[in-house]
Amino acid sequence: MKRRFVTLDVFTRTKCAGNPLAVVLDAEGLDTDEMQAIAREFNLSETVFLLPPADPGHSAVLRIFTPRAELPFAGHPTVGAAVQLAADKYGAPSQAQDAILVLDEAIGPVRVGVRLAPDEPAFAEFDLPKLPEAQGAPPSTDSLCAALGLTHGEIGFENHKPSQWSAGLPFVFVPLRDLQTVRKAEVNLAAWKDSFAGHPAELFVYCRETEHRDNHFHARMFAPTAGILEDPATGSAAAAFAGVIRHFDSLPDGTHVYRVEQGFEMGRPSILNIEISLGNNEMHSARIGGHAVFVSEGHIEI
């Protein structure tokens, strides 16, 4: 059976940047093993499969796969799938068109706003289905240094220290001294396997210094034991990073907006928007947003 697919680059305004995504639109009838096989065939960081929702008020069921496993939630598949669904519904708009979608993911319903506009890349922003939570102690600084080829003096800045957080997927967050240190970080796979036993497989390094002055953090994400040596844009990490920012920067009540740059070292520059809303010294909500551009379409037979 021929099944339609599209590919998009997500968290970018231009093609051949950001994080590539495959979206299989005619996924009815596929079982889990077949979906996993298709994800291996595309061999992108994630492939998403769209299915009819049980709730008629929702837009679609999303099943998200890496080449190795299914995920309960991921950011760039949520953004990319929402943009594709809105484009299929409204086509090329003659004027700005806003849409609200609800996507059923394994983590639960995810509310997404999409904006389509003439001669502009589409933009989507989703509400976090789960607010970030701290996840216990990270690996030791010695272990992190060994895994990343760094020294103690290169880990940490201001009051930021290594930590573990999750907003659906857990990550180890490692602040690094400056942009040069982030650039030179390199995975030592043998040390990595020892260092991360009992900890999340995904590690997000970041610093305050940025490539572009409009951005607030520069980041990289490594997950070699999960089959991702490096990821160009990681929405689920940005979701958890909202908790890191709020915790270490002691944000006051109100709404705070941040831009995180990622993927520059891979030649796939990406920009992820984070919006955090606080009241009574508690995080009430957070949103992750970014642009997406269409790259290709076709059919896969299975």
Query: Annotated active-site positions, please?
Result: 46
DSSP-assigned letters across all residues of 36-87: HHHHHHHTSS-EEEEE--SSTTS-EEEEEE-SS-EES--HHHHHHHHHHHHH
Q: Helix, strand, or coil here: 180?
A: helix
User: In whole angstroms, what is the distance from residue 178 CA to residue 158 CA?
Assistant: 11
Q: CA-based angle 221:246:210, to the nearest 5?
A: 45
Give the chain's length.
302
* Among 247, 270, 66, CA closest to 163: 247
Q: Helix, strand, or coil here: 35?
A: helix
Partner residues linked to 99 by β-bridges: 114
- Beta-strand ranges (E) seen in the chain are 2-10, 19-24, 47-51, 60-65, 70-71, 97-105, 108-117, 120-127, 133-134, 163-166, 170-175, 203-207, 217-223, 228-231, 254-262, 270-279, 282-301
């995904």: which residue's tokens? 202
